[in-house]
Amino acid sequence: MHEYESFLHEKEQIDQLLAKNYEITGVTENLSGAFIDFKREVQGEGDNQVRTLHILTPNGRMYFSNKILLQQKKGLKVN
C-alpha cells in the first residue's frame, strides 16, 4: 500500500503544477528515478518559474509520460 500512496502523492504534485499552468519542459531518468522539469512564464515579470519533481514510482513515471503525450498533442515541445 505504501507504493500506491507514494504514487498518489506524485500524481497530486504533477496535477497541481499543471493546474498552475506549468508545462513539462524536460525529463531526466536515471537509476534513482525521473526528474521532471516544469516551467511557466509569469506575466508582467518577464521571468520564468522553474520547478523540478523527483518521481520514484513506476506508476508515477507512466502518469507523467501520458501527460507529456497530451502536451505534445497540443503542440508543446518537451526536451
Q: Where are the domains of the chain?
A: 2-73
Alpha-carbon span 53 to 22, nearest angstrom: 12
**If 0-12 CB within 10 Å is exposed, 13-18 middle and 19+ buried, where does residue 10 land?**
buried
pLDDT in 10s for each residue of the chain, 79 residues: 699 999 999 999 999 999 999 999 999 999 999 999 999 987 766 678 999 999 999 999 999 999 999 998 888 666 6
Residue 55 burial (10 A CB sphere; 0-12, 13-18, 19+) = buried
